[in-house]
Structure 1
Amino acid sequence: MKPDKDWRHYPGRIPRRRPKRWRRPDHAHWQGGEHLRKRRGMFFRFLAMFGLLVTLVAGGMTIVALLITRLVEGSPGTAVIVWVSGCGLAIALPLLAAVLAFRTFRRVANPLAAVMNAADAVAEGDLSVRVPEFSGRNEFTRLAHSFNNMTEELQRADQQRRNLTADVAHELRTPLHIIQGNLEGVLDGVYDPTPDHIEATLDETRLLSRLVTDLHTLSLADAGQLSLNLEPVNVADLLADVATSFSGQAEAQGVALQVETAVLPPNTHIQGDAGRLDQVLSNLVVNALRHTPEDGRIILTAKLVDGSVQIQVTDTGEGITEEDLPFVFERFWRGDRARTHSGGVGGGLGLAIAKQIIAAHNGKITVSSIPHQATTFTLSFPVETAV
């Protein structure tokens, strides 16, 4: 008869402990062991050098003592003094060398081993590793500081790449789903292929095309390959052309669009690509029109400030909060996270592209804003006086 319960589960049985399995050391433990191994290797190298140095010093002192003893010829007291002095020097100099070697080992071997170990970790993909920055202002302290700065930049760039990939996937997914849904609805007979429905689907394809074009422009700018047709550009004419392009839209929205270049010296030029500069200013005006209510104003101004041409686009719209100001030039950033592509909202790449184009012109772009009052984008360029 089998027992009701397995004998292994009887209360009186003392459980037998199983031997612990061998666990592979984690990366941190391995990293510490690798660091110790490198330190030991450097220590033995220094020890070998120290031994060679002691041998050379002792042998040299012995030879010098013998030569001096022969030169004095026969004075026992002088001979003793020479030998004692020689032995003292033979002992003191190696001790001094040992102290110097020990200090050198601490100041050189430890930082080098730490940097080498951290470099191996970075090569394995661990961008969070940092090198201890030792006290002092020697070359190895600067090396550790530079290495840490490098890994921080690599970590930041890697995070930006991951964020960009996720943002691109999100931005592409929305219009693709709309196009796919509309076409499937037409095929299934849910929607009639009316001109309005086809036009709505076509708008999504235009959005995809614009997003791909913007991403291509950003990739060229990041690689320093953004083509520019540089020529003297008249600043007053540039602002007038942009205002003319958007005067109809501004009038339809009840927004006053003004150009102020009276304070700008006549015939002021900047060296740049007129098409790219028009693209930047058009993007800023579009954003201003999007966020400026009826009876508001958008002002395009140009003036000379400290030898540079300063172009400003100011609107009396809703403004940007202080918390959002540092991020307005980041890719796929939007102040209102609830906005979508509907209503004319873009993909969030316009200001990032504008910053890259201005940088390619050796210029700068900044933004200042007072919430619910005004926002000003300022572009600064080196001035070029036309001949």
Structure 2
Amino acid sequence: MKPNKDWRHYPGRPPHHWRGSRQGRWRKRHGRFFGFMAFFGLMVLLVAGGMTIFTMLLTRRAGGTPETAVLVWISGCGLALALPLLAVTLAFRTFRRVANPLAAVMDAADAVADGDLSVRVPTFSGTNDFTRLAQSFNNMTEELERADQQRRNLTADVAHELRTPLHIIQGNLEGVLDGVYDPTSEHIEATLDETRLLARLVDDLHTLSLADAGQLPLNLESVNVADLLADVATSFSGQAEAQRVALLVETAVLSQNTQIQGDAGRLDQVLSNLVVNALRHTPRDGRIILTAKLVDNAVQIQVTDTGEGIPEEDLPFVFERFWRGDRARTHSGGAGGGLGLAIAKQIVVAHKGQISVSSIPHQATTFTLTVPVA
């Protein structure tokens, strides 16, 4: 079979319409180039002719020699050409440093207005105002893109969390109506548990929305730290004893009158959530220790357990909503909806405090709260 020598079948050969359009663009560029050269040549001729006439008149008036006339002519032509070129060069550099970055920011702003949050402004070397403007714009779009992604993830996670209990409730009720299940107290109680889970999830989402808006209600008062930890330990002493886990409180290093300004109920909610997580992941004969001490002008409260720990790569995501890298963030084993630690962080931040976590896998996990002293 003879090879096809049609140029259209050879790789790398451009299509005819593309080649024609490229030739058209080149003709336009050539025309512009020759037009510019003709204009520049005409200007040179006008400058040279004008300087010739001016030199002749000046030489005759001053009575100079022909050599002086040539020197004056060369100097005048040089200045007449060099000064406009210098002005054009300075104007071009100024345009590149000012107009180009500003145009890039304006184009990027239009793209963001159209919904494209992935746009970025190219940054240039240097520390001028336009470089800082481009960097600030890029930081803003990155934050907007991250917030938008979090919003999308939150919507998907909420739908997922609501779907499971709703399906269970719907299935149980349909089974009762169809006669598949008997409406026993145990079956009704299981369905009621799912409704409680839904109510808790809705309450948690409401709390988070208030915290995000900076409107989380706090009943601020002086709270005794030692009493706060003692109350939490008393609340979970029965559950800890049933699981054969030692629940200890160490506040000896604190003064009995050490107080923080905060909402006792909200702080109790934070510590209770941490203790619940600790009980969930601490094996029999393990320990959970609540400690408090003064650090600078703040009270540092720690909840330490001798449980299974958290992998190092998972630590940055512990306080994220609905995070699922850890079994503590699922419903299995009586776990919550994955919002407890996120709410705890928001409550601590509302108290102008900080919360962090450290862990050694299969050994210990420590949550640390730092709240300013009253």
Cα distance in 2, alignment partners of residues 232 and 220 from structure 1 = 23
Cα distance in 1, alignment partners of residues 367 and 282 from structure 2 = 14
Cα distance in 2, alignment partners of residues 85 and 314 from structure 1 = 86
1:301 correspondence with 2:291: yes
Cα distance in 2, alignment partners of residues 351 and 82 from structure 1 = 85
Cα deviation 1:186-238 (Å, max 9, x = unaligned): 00111111111111000000000000000011111111111111111111111
Cα distance in 1, alignment partners of residues 277 and 283 from structure 2 = 12
Structure 2 length-normalised TM: 0.78
Q: 1:328 touches 1:334 (CA, 8 Å); kept in 2? A: no
User: What amino acid sits opposite 2:346 in the alignment?
Assistant: Q
3-state SS of the aligned residue for 1:324? Answer: helix
Q: 2:282 touches 2:305 (CA, 8 Å); kept in 1? A: yes
Q: Which runs of 5+ in 1 are unaligned?
A: 1-18, 23-74
Structure 1 length-normalised TM: 0.76
Q: 1:245 pairs with 213, 232, 235, which one?
A: 235
Deviation at 1:306, TM superposition (A): 2.4
Deviation at 1:124, TM superposition (A): 1.0
Deviation at 1:123, TM superposition (A): 1.0
Q: 1:324 touches 1:335 (CA, 8 Å); kept in 2? A: yes
Deviation at 1:337, TM superposition (A): 5.3
Cα deviation 1:330-382 (Å, max 9, x = unaligned): 00113445974243110000000001111111100000011111100000011
Q: 1:297 touches 1:315 (CA, 8 Å); kept in 2? A: yes
Q: 1:120 pairs with 110, 120, 123, which one?
A: 110
Q: 1:232 touches 1:272 (CA, 8 Å); kept in 2? A: yes
3-state SS of the aligned residue for 2:92? Answer: helix
Residue 135 of structure 2: aligned partner: 145
User: What amino acid sits opposite 1:220 in the alignment?
Assistant: L
Q: 2:224 touches 2:257 (CA, 8 Å); kept in 1? A: yes
Q: 2:258 pairs with 253, 268, 283, which one?
A: 268
Q: 1:153 to 1:239 in 2, by over 3 A?
A: same
The CA RMSD measured in Å over matched residues stands at 2.8
Q: How does 1:100-115 map to 2 (within 5 A)?
A: 100-115=90-105
Deviation at 1:84, TM superposition (A): 11
3-state SS of the aligned residue for 1:189? Answer: coil
Residue 163 of structure 1: aligned partner: 153
Q: 1:77 to 1:172 in 2, by over 3 A?
A: farther
1:189 correspondence with 2:176: no
Moved over 6 A (4+): 19-22, 80-91
Q: 1:341 pairs with 331, 335, 352, which one?
A: 331
Q: How does 1:1-387 map to 2 (within 5 A)?
A: 76=62, 94-336=84-326, 340-384=330-374
Cα deviation 1:5-62 (Å, max 9, x = unaligned): xxxxxxxxxxxxxx9999xxxxxxxxxxxxxxxxxxxxxxxxxxxxxxxxxxxxxxxx
Q: 2:324 touches 2:330 (CA, 8 Å); kept in 1? A: no
Aligned residues: 317
3-state SS of the aligned residue for 2:116? Answer: coil
Cα distance in 2, alignment partners of residues 227 and 251 from structure 1 = 34
Q: 2:328 touches 2:335 (CA, 8 Å); kept in 1? A: no
User: What amino acid sits opposite 1:277 in the alignment?
Assistant: L
Deviation at 1:136, TM superposition (A): 1.2
User: What amino acid sits opposite 1:325 in the alignment?
Assistant: L
User: What amino acid sits opposite 1:263 in the alignment?
Assistant: V
Q: 1:250 touches 1:289 (CA, 8 Å); kept in 2? A: yes
Q: 1:238 touches 1:274 (CA, 8 Å); kept in 2? A: yes
Cα distance in 2, alignment partners of residues 208 and 138 from structure 1 = 54
Q: 2:281 touches 2:307 (CA, 8 Å); kept in 1? A: yes
Cα distance in 2, alignment partners of residues 83 and 222 from structure 1 = 76
Cα distance in 1, alignment partners of residues 373 and 321 from structure 2 = 29
User: What amino acid sits opposite 1:107 in the alignment?
Assistant: R
Q: 1:189 to 1:339 in 2, by over 3 A?
A: farther
Cα distance in 2, alignment partners of residues 245 and 143 from structure 1 = 54
Cα deviation 1:129-173 (Å, max 9, x = unaligned): 111101111111111111111111111111111111110000000
Moved more, 96-105 or 254-263: 96-105
Q: 1:21 to 1:298 in 2, by over 3 A?
A: farther
Moved more, 344-353 or 261-270: 261-270
Q: 1:125 to 1:77 in 2, by over 3 A?
A: farther
- Percent of aligned pairs with the same amino acid: 87
Q: 2:329 touches 2:337 (CA, 8 Å); kept in 1? A: no
Q: Which runs of 5+ in 2 are unaligned?
A: 1-14, 19-60
Cα distance in 1, alignment partners of residues 17 and 79 from structure 2 = 58
Cα deviation 1:67-121 (Å, max 9, x = unaligned): xxxxxxxx9589x999999998776655443222111101011111111111111
Q: 2:288 touches 2:304 (CA, 8 Å); kept in 1? A: yes
